Chains A and B, each alone.
Chain A
């Protein structure tokens, strides 16, 4: 049985020292966001029994399993959606891999993601009026960014002027928030519309349903 002997958290750096019965198995891993997720998998694959994660997360095997699957899905699709996934999409994709009599609910997913926070996985669940999405973007998102994501989910694409009017923000504030989302790869710019518009793969139906 493995045991966590130290978990240090200095802002975005996480130090896990894992001890298992064999001395050769003692290892220290410094995880730094955003590679925290990948390292997390390596350690899981290489040497860990799930008991360790249960102990650390304080959850049973079920949420551990769902949580890991959510992280895997975020990693596997982040190149195209920038780390934003609608909860519906997560549920659909995870259930597609599960047996009929073993389907999970969106509530299970939210719970699993919340539990993963202990690990500093950088994942958050954002609730909007009608639906929810999960983001696994390195660095904090401010309220403004979250608001933009919510608006984008309902509209599909945004323009600076339209968004400013819609939210009652100045164009400067709107632009700054959009530029940030562009920088972290959550949104794509379309220059062939007038004025330029910003599109979100995560909320683009064909992307969310693509294999």
Chain B
């Protein structure tokens, strides 16, 4: 797997200070959002914990001794939430799911895969979908379990899948 390619802003010291000029700040937040999403995608990060975020490598660059302060991280995450790329798990906004693809897009991809591999009307376990050998080449391979369920629920609402519980295991039937 190739290394994640950091954008130029990541080595630009003032990138880690929220900019006072509104236009510049907008540019800055755009860059932050695409950095966080690109990084999450590359590293298969599905959830972000705000308290732990200050130590995440994406928010700090030790080689130039700069780190985005906690209030800056909050602003970036709020911006991601506004754009639909992040969903808080609780009201206190301490944890959030991060979507570099929307839940719907994930659902569509999984459904497409099920169609392509003749899995209609059969039951797959969730493990099979995000961990199984057969999905190794798929983008949703390694997808966070909670996000996977959200994606399948979206399919369920659209009448394309049915989630089922087998006690400690969950499965899905594609329709």
Asked if B84 lies at the interface with its beta carbon under 8 angstroms from chain A, I say: no
Across the interface, do B7 and A190 meet the contact criterion of CB distance under 8 Å? no
Asked if A114 lies at the interface with its beta carbon under 8 angstroms from chain B, I say: no
The A-contacting residues of B in range 1-44, CB under 8 angstroms, are 7-9, 11-17, 19-21, 23-24, 27-28
Give Cα A188–Cα B21 distance, bound, in whole angstroms. 9
How many chain B residues have a CB neighbour from A under 8 Å?
Answer: 20
- The residue from B11, B21, B28, B65 contacting A192, defined by CB atoms under 8 A apart: B65
Across the interface, do A206 and B23 meet the contact criterion of CB distance under 8 Å? no
Across the interface, do A188 and B24 meet the contact criterion of CB distance under 8 Å? yes
Nearest residue (CB) in A for B15 is A188
- The residue from A185, A189, A210 contacting B7, defined by CB atoms under 8 A apart: A210
On whether A185 and B8 interact (CB within 8 A), knowing A192-B13, A199-B14, the answer reads no
Contacts of A188 in B (CB 8 A): 12, 14-15, 17, 19, 24, 28
Contacts of B7 in A (CB 8 A): 210
Give Cα A204–Cα B10 distance, bound, in whole angstroms. 12
Given contacts A185-B24, A207-B12, 6 further A-B contacts (CB under 8 A): A182-B20, A188-B19, A189-B19, A191-B17, A192-B17, A210-B8
Which 7 residue pairs across A and B have the least CB separation, nearest first?
Answer: A188-B14, A206-B8, A190-B14, A210-B8, A191-B17, A190-B13, A185-B24
- Interface residues of chain B, those whose CB is within 8 Å of chain A, are 7-9, 11-17, 19-21, 23-24, 27-28, 65-67
